[in-house]
Structure 1
Amino acid sequence: MDARILRQVQARRNVSRQDITDGLVETIVQIGGDPLTVRKAKDELSAVLGKARNGVPQVIGNIKKADDMAVVISVKDLAELVTAARQHETFGEALDAIGFKPYSGGRIIVGQGRKRERLQRSSNPSGAKMAL
C-alpha cells in the first residue's frame, strides 16, 4: 500500500468524517488515477482487481459525489489501514482504553521527604573513596 494513504489515515484521525472522505479521495485519485465509471470498472474487472492486489487502490464512481464513490483495495491493504489507524493514539485515548478513571476524592496533602545522607561512591577507578 502506498505510504501516502497510511499517512492520510493517521493524520486525519481526529477530523470530521467529511474531511477524512475528501482527503482520502484526493490521495487515492493521485495514486490510482481518475475514478472509473461503474461500466468501465465492470468491463475491466480483472485489471481493477489486479491493480488493487498490487497495492494500487481503484476508485469507482463520480468524483463530484464523494459519498457515492467506492474504493477497491486488497484485504492485505485493508488490514494495513486498520493497523495504521490505531497505532498512534493520544495519551488520553490510551488511558481511556485501559479504563483509567481520575481520582475524584478530596485534596491529597503530600509531606516533605525525609533528610537523607549524601550518596558516596563505593570506589573510583583509582580505588580511593570520595564523597560527592
Structure 2
Amino acid sequence: MDPRILKQLQENRNASRQEIADGLVETIVQIGGGPLTVRKAKDELSAVLGKARSGVPQVVGNLKKTKDMTVVISVQDLAELIAATWHRETFGEALDAIGFKPHAGGRIIVGQGRKRAPLQRSGNAGGSLE
C-alpha cells in the first residue's frame, strides 16, 4: 500500500467524514491515476483488479460526486488500513517520528543549584495567623 494513503488518514484523524473522503479520493487519484468510469472499469476489470492487488488502489465513479465513488483495493491493503487506524502511537514512537536521539555520551550529573535563604513573610502583609 502506498504510504501516502496512511499518512493522509493519520493527518486527518479529527476531520469530518466528508473531509476524510475528499482527502482520500484526492490522494488515491494521485496514486492510481484519474478515476475510471463504471463502463471502463467493467471493460477492464482484470486490469483494475491487477492494479489493486499490486497495491495501487483504483477509483471508479464521478469525481464531482464523492458519495457515488467506489475504491477498489486488495483485502491485504484493507487489513493494513484497518490496523493503521486502530494503532495508537506510543510516546516512544512519537519521539522516533520527530527524530529524537537520546544522549549517547556518559552520565550527566546535575548539581543542586544555588542555595537560597528560606522565604519569610515581611511585616503584616499576609495577615496574622494567630
Give the aligned residue type for 1:56.
Answer: V
- Unaligned runs of 5+ residues in structure 2 are 92-130
Is 1:36–1:59's contact at 8 Å kept on the other side of the alignment? yes
Q: TM-score, normalising length from structure 1?
A: 0.66
1:18 aligns to 2:23 (yes or no)? no
Q: TM-score, normalising length from structure 2?
A: 0.67
Whole-Å separation in 2 of the counterparts to 1:79 and 1:35? 23
The within-5 A match list for 1:1-132 is 1-88=1-88
Whole-Å separation in 2 of the counterparts to 1:87 and 1:13? 12
Is 1:10–1:88's contact at 8 Å kept on the other side of the alignment? no
Q: CA deviation at 1:13?
A: 1.5
CA RMSD of aligned residues (A): 1.5
Q: Secondary structure at the match of 1:67?
A: helix
Structure 1 residues 7 and 39, CA, compared in 2 at 3 Å: closer, same or farther?
same
Q: Which runs of 4+ in 1 moved over 2 A?
A: 88-91
Q: CA deviation at 1:27?
A: 0.2
Q: Deviations over 1:4-51 (max 9, x none)?
A: 001111121211001101100000000000000000000000000000
Whole-Å separation in 2 of the counterparts to 1:53 and 1:35? 17
What number of residue pairs does the alignment pair up?
91
Whole-Å separation in 2 of the counterparts to 1:72 and 1:12? 21
Give the aligned residue type for 2:58.
Answer: Q
Q: CA deviation at 1:89?
A: 6.1
